[in-house]
Amino acid sequence: MHYVVTGGMGFIGSNLSEYLAKDHDVTIIDDGATGRYVNIKNLVENRTGNSGSAEGLDNSVRFVKGSITDPELLKKEFEGADGIFHQGAIPSVPRSVADPARTSNVNIEGTLNVLIAARDCGVRKVVFASSSSVYGNTPTLPKVETMCPSPLSPYALQKLAGETYCGIFTDIYGLDTVALRYFNVFGPKQDPNSQYAAVIPNFIKKLLNNEAPIIYGNGEQTRDFTYVKNVIQANVKAMESDATGFYNIACGERISLNNLAENIMEILNFHTEPIYKEPRAEDVRDSLADISKANNAFNYKPEYSLNDGLRETIEWYNI
């Protein structure tokens, strides 16, 4: 197959591109706004053209520097593609709060551009990276897809708008689309140095430097952390299936940030007291997913537990 990955230099996009390249031709589109070329450098430079790779495979990987805000570029690169994995976005809730206009241009208008180009090029399916943030702070747990969304940030609203556009393009134009609501994804290639870095790379970075991790709030807030290899599995299975609609992608288990810090310290054999700071207003209190819909639709079953993922992630950061 020939697949296009938007945002392919990003954390999830680069891991997904690496997996897909084992068996398929892959075109990565990224403008470098938040993604990092180092995430795909070996993949692209060892597997160019159609002449094979260091592994002796015939499939190719192409990198195209460009933005999903460029409709003409998308139409050119989507021609002949079998499917689009739309990971491209300006991620993070705090970033959207700081700059709602710019993030909206990329996350909403960019997604619309992707869908129009996919429709016009006759692409079979688009798998869209959505977010559990669309649920907001609704107290009911676990989060089920039938619940009414309640976004609390521009980013959450932008992802919900992307989901809605996906559904409309399926209903009106017959373009198959799937939106995957990711729950707190973590793993190798996640940038711990960004000011918007997620909690797990932040904890790992601090502890590897023999520093105390920083927790915003009292640490009793909970998350359903999802290892990136589980997310890759969900993307591939969703693409290969006949499923459409939106689905939770998580592990179906939650852990407090205090216990998360303890787990990481236990793996690293380094123990210290976390530093507690004022909670952030835009943060969700608790998160837990019901993943039965994805399991029924395309046989999604998490293959990696939280601690399995933590060990692999720590090993990657510690190299």
pLDDT tens sequence across 75-120: 999 999 999 999 999 998 889 999 999 999 999 999 999 999 999 9
Q: Please state at what angle helix 306-317 crosses helix 228-240, rounded to 10 degrees.
A: 110
Number of structural domains the chain divides into: 1
Tell me which residue range forms the domain holding 133: 2-187+226-252+288-303
Confidence of residue 55 (pLDDT cuts 50, 70, 90): very low
The pLDDT value recorded for residue 117 is 98
Spatial separation of the C-alpha atoms in residues 35 and 33, rounded to whole Å: 6
What are the tens digits of pLDDT across the range 177-196?
999 999 999 999 998 887 66
For residue 90, tell me if it sits in a domain: yes
The pLDDT value recorded for residue 195 is 67
For residue 232, tell me if it sits in a domain: yes
Helix (H, G, I), strand (E, B) or coil at 16: helix
For residue 319, tell me if it sits in a domain: no
For residue 314, tell me if it sits in a domain: no
Strands 176-182 and 245-249: parallel
The pLDDT value recorded for residue 284 is 79
Q: Active-site residue among 19, 37, 135, 155?
A: 155
For residue 137, what is the domain's CATH number?
3.40.50.720
Whether residue 56 is predicted with pLDDT greater than 50 in this model: the reply is: no
Spatial separation of the C-alpha atoms in residues 215 and 220, rounded to whole Å: 10
Active site residue 317: no
Beta bridge pairs of residue 255: 223
Confidence of residue 317 (pLDDT cuts 50, 70, 90): very high
Mean of all residue pLDDT scores within the chain: 94
pTM above 0.85? yes
For residue 310, tell me if it sits in a domain: no
What are the tens digits of pLDDT across the range 247-299?
999 999 999 999 999 999 999 999 999 999 998 876 778 999 999 999 999 99
Minimum mean pLDDT range among 135-139, 223-227, 292-296: 135-139
For residue 75, tell me if it sits in a domain: yes
The pLDDT value recorded for residue 119 is 98
Tokens of 277: 């700071």
For residue 197, tell me if it sits in a domain: no
H helices then E strands: how many in the chain? 12, 13
For residue 274, tell me if it sits in a domain: no
User: Could you give the percent of the chain with pLDDT greater than 90?
Assistant: 87
Spatial separation of the C-alpha atoms in residues 268 and 139, rounded to whole Å: 34
CB distance 237 to 199 below 8 Å: no
Whole-number Cα distances in Å, 281 to 94, 152, 183, 248, 252: 10, 10, 19, 24, 25
